[in-house]
Amino acid sequence: MLVITRKSGEQICLGDDVTITVLDVTGSTVRLGIEAPAEIPIYRGEIWLDVKAENRAAADASIKDLPSIKSRTKPGD
Amino acid sequence: MHVESTRLGTMEVRDDSVLTFADGLPGLPGDRWALIATGEDSPFFWLQSIDYADVAVPVTSPWLFFGDYEVRLSDDEAARLGLSDAGDAYIVCVVRAAEQLDEFTINLVSPLVINAGSRQGRQVINDAGGYSVRHPLFSEVELDAVPPARSAVPVTAAGG
């Protein structure tokens, strides 16, 4: 991980297309402005980690037979 | 094309049934997937990776379980998918299956949005807030009250 220290008003550039500006630092909260092309989605890190973890857990579940209504089979049957 | 699945056997998936997630599903390998039917009366499909036989997730239409579910996409997300109209989108959510029905959960935070015409999909973050990545699936309806799933894109029958 590259570690950079910035002050309010300073920027970080990722290639030619992405610029992150430190807008404001209040206490332990940093407000960031992000300019990026529309094709690049921008998400809060913890949400994306949650999604990754949930996808992996869904794929790892060892259940092979999913419930259907007619037969009323349930996974434990 | 010939698709192997450790869960579902060997299947022939038509080219027009291939769903492409150009940015993949976070945490899972591959970008080509197919919807596989689990049975006539099931509310679930398997979303099977075409390139990784052991990678598949259960999915369902969230509206079969939650009548009030709302999906809001930013204009940027809609543009990435080439969606000019909400009607062009086919949306499913990933389900975490379990031994007991009351342990099933569904990810309502990041639905899979598929452009039904182009078969391109993305896993997006729902701009409509207040949802959980692990929402109990059967919290509002019971299994017997859930209609079978319908798909807006082609579905392949499970193999032998």
ipTM of the complex: 0.92
Per-residue pLDDT, averaged over B33-45, amounts to 89
Residue B148 carries which DSSP code? P
pLDDT of residue B40: 73
pTM: 0.88
Residue B33 has pLDDT above 90, yes or no: yes
Range of the domain at B137: 2-157
Confidence of residue A76 (pLDDT cuts 50, 70, 90): low
Shortest Cα distance, chain A CAs vs residue B135, angstroms: 11
Domain count, chain B: 1
Instruction: Give the Cα separation of B136 and B52 in Å (integer).
Output: 28
Instruction: Give percent helix, percent strand, percent coil of chain B, each to the nearest 5.
Output: 15, 30, 55
Q: B100 and A76: CB-CB below 8 Å?
A: yes
User: B79's torsion region: left (phi>0), alpha (psi -120 to 50) or beta?
Assistant: alpha
Instruction: Give the Cα separation of B149 and B43 in Å (integer).
Output: 4
Instruction: Give the Cα separation of B156 and B11 in Å (integer).
Output: 8
Q: Which domain CATH number covers B57?
A: 2.30.290.10
Residue type, B139: S
Per-residue pLDDT, averaged over A7-28, amounts to 96
Task: Compare all CA atoms of chain A with the CA of B107 and give the residue at the minimum distance.
Answer: A54
Spans of all domains in chain A: 11-60
Please list the alpha-helical segments (H only) found in B65-106.
75-80
- Which residues of chain A make contact with B27, given a CB cutoff of 8 A? 51-56, 59
pLDDT digit string, tens, across residues B64-74: 999 999 999 98
pLDDT digit string, tens, across residues B98-131: 989 999 999 999 999 999 999 999 999 998 989 9
